[in-house]
Amino acid sequence: MTSPRSDGSASPASDFATSLLAEFVAAGVRHVVLSPGSRSQALALAAAALERQGALSLHVRIDERVGGFTALGLAAETGTPVLVVVTSGTAVANLHPAVLEARHSGAPLVLLTADRPPELRGIGANQTTDQLGVFGSAVVASRDFPAPPDAPPATEVVQWALAEAASGPVQLNLAFREPLSAVVPTPEVAPAPAPAPDDAAPVLLEPASGTVVIAGTGAGPAAEELAHALGAPLLAEVASGARFGPNLVAAYREVLAEFGGEVRRAIVFGHPTLSREVPALLGRADVEVIVVRSPGVDDYNPGHRVARFVDALAYEGEPEPRGWAGRWVAASRALLADDTRAVGADESATNSDFRRAELARVRARVDRRALVQAVWAATWPHDRLVLGASRLIREADRVVPGKKLRVHANRGLAGIDGTIATATGIALASQTDASRPGVTRVLLGDLAALHDVGALLAAPGEKRPRMQVIVGNDRGGTIFDGLEVAATAPAEDFERVLLTPQQVSFAALAEAYGWQYRLVQNRGDLEQALSPTAAPTLIEVPLER
């Protein structure tokens, strides 16, 4: 780090960094995620000074990829822009996976990437590359700003950045000359403005028979509200935020096979990704498809057959006769009831029969279905549930019933990376109110957990969230067992390059990162392990392949 100048004054880098972050705070930004580095030190020290004033929350991560996904989780939970601060060189490139997910899910990340000034670029200087185009189309906008004192006023920079971030991630490439920092001036923060009202008028929907509402990831309660108003079946994925209400068809795959031929109009919220049945329905020539746009997200248009895109919908007519949705709902509930009926629940059974059956259930080995059902049952509206990209999210989508929960999944690109880090950001943002002691549960497979194991590392002195990382460990990528390649590839090659078996000790990982550890041997263990705890806990659930 560069030492303060002998006269005790701040450097142009410190002056600009302090002014810039103070303007972001004045505009309502409350979270900064940073990874340490030399070129970005003025921004880092200004952020630390603002946190001491109580103006923002600072989250330090040594791994930029972890930092990017942590910011993604903060943005997903708060719905507001989050700043990400990194130094130059490969540090910038390490943000790319999180930026891609943010671009495809519309998350408002503001990337402050520190850089060398122009005279140090293109000459082989250390940690210097062409940073401005590194994210390509993954950012909605990117600008290169000259080094202070030649940079534009901080107010102008912030106004541009936040206007662009309304549609997704944006990059501010900030050049800094030495001295990179000195005595950091005391930031002066103006009060945040009140949010502007949303004056967009929704499109009024005409009545039509045979309508269904489909809710994918990010749909939110608006999908359930419209389905209720229309009297339409609601086909809601597990991470939609709309999997509740009297019109919910949780077992929608099977019910579509029975009644899908009667559908004439489908209204889509969010991004459906968890079934083949939904895209097949939307691709039919006899089904009118209307998609409600998600801000900052590419239009969902399977088969390029969408008839209309709208920003919001409303319905003021009479709902369809109850029989239309009622048949779908009854069929779905019957399927789930058959699946979840408890062993020994026969009313004619004696008390001793019931006790033996219950003991057998508690001692039974946990399979994927039992795992997702137990996690769903243990989670309540004040909690958060994050589902990784694995077999488990698809199992949950098939069998869990309706419940009004905050569920998140990185389904913009559906990658396995960054799941724990994203959940950490969600937990930190959701647990700011001490009167609501919720728990954030993360359910993922073993490879997804190992891919993001660095996110288990906590920064000293920072608040540790109430989290349970629940790893369904079948020792490899067994999701490939269900794909066509499993039947055609040589067995040895399939094991090595697709299944990728692993023998990692999750108990040792938990100890290394300072997490509590629970090994689940049966269903009774699982129910106990899912009880809310204050300390971060890693729960390992061995699963059969």
Whole-angstrom CA distances from 25 to 57, 86, 107, 108, 171 are 10, 18, 18, 15, 18
Q: What is the pLDDT of residue 437?
A: 75
pLDDT in tens, 317-343: 899 998 999 999 999 999 998 876 543
Dump pLDDT digits (tens) for 449-483: 999 999 999 988 899 999 999 999 999 988 888 88
Give the residue with greater pLDDT, 344 vs 525.
525
pLDDT of residue 8: 45
C-alpha of 238 from chain center? 13
Residues 376 and 303 occupy one common structural domain: no
Tell me the per-residue pLDDT of 182-193, one tens digit each, with 9 for 90 and over: 766 677 777 666
Distances (CA, A) of 512 to 323, 453, 505: 57, 11, 11
- Look up residue 64 and give its amino acid: E
Report the DSSP pairing between strands 384-387 and 440-445: parallel
Q: Measured in whole angstroms, how far is the alpha carbon of residue 531 from the centre of its chain?
A: 23
Would you say residue 4 lies in a domain? no
What was the pLDDT predicted at 345? Answer: 47
Span 53-82, average pLDDT: 97
Same domain, 125 and 77: yes
Angle at 390 between CA 389 and CA 394, to 5 degrees: 95
Task: Please give the backbone phi and psi of residue 185, each rounded to the nearest 5 degrees, phi first.
Answer: -65, 155
Summary mean pLDDT of the chain: 91
Judgement on whether residues 264 and 389 belong to the same structural domain of the protein:
no
Q: Are residues 148 and 238 in the same domain?
A: no
- Tens-digit pLDDT profile for residues 274-294: 999 999 999 999 999 999 999
What is residue 297's predicted lDDT score, i.e. its pLDDT? 87
Mean pLDDT of 74-88: 97
Residue 187 within any structural domain of the chain: no
168 Cβ partners below 8 Å, 6+ apart? 102, 103, 106, 107, 108, 109, 139, 140, 296, 297
pLDDT at residue 436 greater than cutoff 90: no
Question: Residue 424: inside a domain, yes or no?
Answer: yes
CA–CA separation, 503 and 348 (whole Å): 47
How far the first Cα of the chain sits from its last, in Å, is 51
**How many independent structural domains does the chain possess?**
3
Buried b (16+ CB within 10 A) or exposed e, 221-251: ebbbbbbbbbbbbbbbbbbbbbbbbebbbbb
Shared domain check, 402 and 255? no
Q: How far apart are CA 401 and CA 417, in angstroms?
A: 27
- Sequence-distant (6+) residues with CB within 8 A of 330 are none
The torsion defined by the Cα of 240, 242, 244 and 248, in degrees rounded to 10, comes to -90
Given a cut of 90, whether residue 215 has pLDDT beyond it is: yes
Residue 399 CA from chain centroid, whole number: 21
The residue from 129, 160, 175 where one domain ends is: 175
Rounded distance between C-alpha atoms, residue 515 and residue 404, angstroms: 29
**Residue with the larger pLDDT of the pair 478 and 86:** 86
- At 362-413, the pLDDT tens digits run 778 999 999 999 999 999 999 999 999 989 999 999 999 999 999 999 999 9
Give the other-Cβ count within 10 Å of 331's Cβ: 17
Coil, strand or helix at 441: strand
Cis peptide leading into residue 149 (ω within 30°): yes
Enclosing H/E stretch for 57: strand 57-60
Task: Please write the tens of the pLDDT for every residue from 216-233.
Answer: 999 999 999 999 999 999
DSSP character string of 123-138 = S--TT----TTTTGGG
What is residue 1's predicted lDDT score, i.e. its pLDDT?
A: 33
**423 with 320, same domain?**
no
- What are the structure tokens assigned to 215, written together? 């809710």
Is residue 514, in this structure, part of any structural domain at all?
A: yes
Greatest C-alpha distance within the chain: 89
Residue 131: pLDDT band by 50, 70, 90 thresholds? Answer: confident
pLDDT of residue 486: 87
Between CA 95 and CA 76 the distance in angstroms is 17
Of all residues in the chain, the percent with pLDDT exceeding 70 is 90
For 327, residues 6+ apart whose C-beta sits below 8 A from its C-beta are 259
Q: Model confidence at 349, in pLDDT bands (50, 70, 90)? A: low
Residues 6+ apart with CB under 8 A from 39: 87, 88, 114, 115, 116, 127, 176, 180
What is the pTM assigned to this prediction? 0.91
How are the residues of the chain apportioned to helix, strand and coil, as percentages rounded to the nearest 5? 40, 15, 45
Q: What is the predicted pLDDT for the residue at 184?
A: 64
Residues with Cβ within 8 Å of 182's Cβ and at least 6 positions away in sequence, in order, are 2, 3, 4, 5, 8, 9, 10, 11, 14
Q: The domain containing residue 448 runs over which residues?
A: 359-542
- Contact in structure between 310 and 292 (CB atoms under 8 Å): yes
**258 and 364 inside one domain:** no
Chain position carrying tokens 């130094």 = 87
CA dist., res. 445 & res. 74, Å (int): 22
Do 287 and 398 lie in a common domain? no
Kindly state whether residues 142 and 232 are assigned to the same domain. no
Side chain identity at residue 39, one-letter code: R
Give the pLDDT band (50/70/90) at residue 201: confident
Q: Percent of the chain at pLDDT above 90?
A: 75
Is the Cβ–Cβ distance between 242 and 268 less than 8 Å?
no
Query: Which domain CATH number covers 257?
Result: 3.40.50.1220
Least confident of 210-214, 358-362, 458-462: 358-362
3-state secondary structure of 313: strand
Q: Please report whether residue 296 resides in a domain.
A: yes
pLDDT of residue 189: 73
Tokens for 173?
């490439």
Q: What is the CATH number of the domain that holds 439?
A: 3.40.50.970
- Does some domain include residue 385? yes
With 90 as the cut, is the pLDDT of residue 101 above it?
Answer: yes
Same domain assignment for residues 324 and 364: no
Same domain, 66 and 107: yes
**pLDDT beyond 60 at 3:** no
DSSP, collapsed to helix, strand or coil, labels residue 92 as helix
Mean pLDDT is lowest, of 91-100, 176-185, 314-323, 436-445, for 176-185
Query: Distance (Å, rounded) from C-alpha 522 to C-alpha 364?
Result: 5
**181 is a domain residue:** no
Determine how β-strand 265-269 pairs with β-strand 288-292: parallel
324 in a structural domain: yes
Question: Looking at the structure, do residues 313 and 405 belong to the same domain, yes or no?
Answer: no
Cis peptide, bond prior to residue 179, ω within 30 of zero: yes
pLDDT value of position 338: 80
